[in-house]
């Protein structure tokens, strides 16, 4: 897989809710902090999105998509002069699975989902994203159109299995929005996602993700992307925010953590597959990155996962 697919697979975005809702004229709704990523698109109408800590509100028009990856409180409003009402009041009276309509005069219609990242080290993605990702180019809207239309149909005309299909379509919308964000040339920041937007650094990350168990050296990495060792190391650190070998070690440990909790593979076998000649060397690296030994991680993560599942089952309507 490619690096974006790799990371999303390990972070396991879990859909808390996938549905549509409508904002009537002269409506202003305030949402509190949230976990994970909210990803929505506006099908018709227009309104303003304001996020706490961001000076300027964003005008959303039909076809726009937006991601909110930092969990900051936000407001959707048809008029910036209005006083927002609490989202619970709005949800209890207006938000339904069938709130998607073809009648564009009836207000502002949204579809999308709220995703919790259940994998370890979610910051590898979230810290690489700005507080608001706004997809607004006409060509990008066209690329999103198919998935938006399918979600709208599933929500407007419920069929057996429709909820699951809507969840998968919302997840596809999330991935597509991230891909379009990358394609638009993410610049000026430091982190994994910024590196993917850089042709040479993206190629280097692709090599590490394609074969994490290879006996990589700084020289081998640099040769793969046609750079000198010193320039490559400097450029990688400036773009990704960490050294090539540190990144490789962390990625290996994330892969190891996944195998420890999703399989019964012996630790020695996992270590060997990730380029470690001895279990002790692997365990030392694992403890440094994951803050627990492999055995502690295998035992403890299963308990954490069970606890998280119970917590998700009791989430209030604030998860929307």
Cβ contact 143:36 at 8 Å: no
Residues facing residue 46 across a β-bridge: 61
pLDDT exceeds 70 at position 236: yes
CATH of domain 3-184: 2.60.120
pLDDT score for 82: 93
Rounded Cα gap, residues 39 and 114, in angstroms: 6
Displacement of CA 125 from its chain's centroid (Å): 6
The pTM of the full predicted model, rounded to 2 decimals, is: 0.76
Q: Domain 192-303: give its CATH architecture.
A: Orthogonal Bundle (1.10)
Residue 213: pLDDT band (50, 70, 90) is: very high
Domain boundaries, given as residue ranges, for the chain: 3-184, 192-303
User: What is the Cα–Cα distance from 182 to 176, expressed in whole angstroms?
Assistant: 10
Percentage of the chain beyond pLDDT 90 is 46
Binned at pLDDT 50, 70 and 90, residue 196 comes out as: confident
pLDDT of residue 97: 42
**159/157 Cα distance (integer angstroms):** 6
Window from 23-27, 114-118, 119-123, 279-283 with minimum mean pLDDT:
119-123
Q: Tell me, what's the pLDDT at 94?
A: 56
> Residue 189's pLDDT band (boundaries 50, 70, 90)?
low
Alpha-carbon distance 204 to 224, whole Å? Answer: 7
């Amino acid at each position: 897989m490619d690096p974006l697919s790799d990371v999303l697979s390990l972070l396991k975005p879990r859909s808390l809710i996938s549905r549509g809702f409508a904002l009537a004229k002269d409506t202003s709704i305030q949402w509190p902090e949230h976990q994970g990523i909210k990803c929505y698109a506006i099908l018709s109408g227009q309104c303003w999105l304001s996020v706490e800590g961001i000076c300027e509100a964003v005008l959303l028009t039909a076809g726009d998509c937006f991601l909110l990856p930092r969990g900051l409180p936000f407001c959707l409003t048809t008029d910036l002069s209005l006083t927002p009402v609490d989202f619970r009041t709005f949800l209890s009276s207006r938000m339904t699975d069938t709130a998607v309509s073809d009648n564009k005069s009836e207000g502002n219609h949204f579809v999308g989902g709220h995703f919790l990242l259940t994998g370890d080290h979610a910051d590898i993605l979230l810290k690489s994203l700005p507080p608001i990702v706004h997809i607004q180019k006409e060509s990008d809207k066209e690329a999103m159109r198919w998935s938006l239309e399918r979600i709208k149909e599933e929500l407007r005309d419920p069929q057996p299995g429709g909820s699951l299909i809507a969840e998968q379509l919302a997840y596809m919308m999330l991935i597509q929005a991230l891909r379009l964000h990358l394609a638009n040339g993410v610049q000026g920041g430091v982190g994994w996602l910024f590196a993917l937007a850089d042709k040479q650094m993206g190629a280097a990350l692709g090599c590490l993700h394609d074969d994490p168990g290879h006996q990589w050296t700084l020289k081998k990495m640099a040769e793969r992307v046609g750079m000198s060792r010193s320039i490559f190391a400097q450029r990688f650190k400036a773009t990704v925010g960490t050294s090539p070998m540190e990144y490789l070690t962390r990625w290996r440990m994330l892969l190891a953590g996944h195998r420890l909790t999703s399989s019964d593979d012996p630790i020695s076998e996992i270590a060997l597959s990730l380029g470690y000649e001895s279990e002790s060397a692997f365990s030392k690296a694992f403890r440094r990155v994951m803050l627990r030994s492999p055995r502690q991680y295998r035992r403890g993560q299963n308990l954490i996962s069970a606890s998280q599942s119970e917590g998700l089952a009791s989430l209030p309507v604030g998860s929307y």
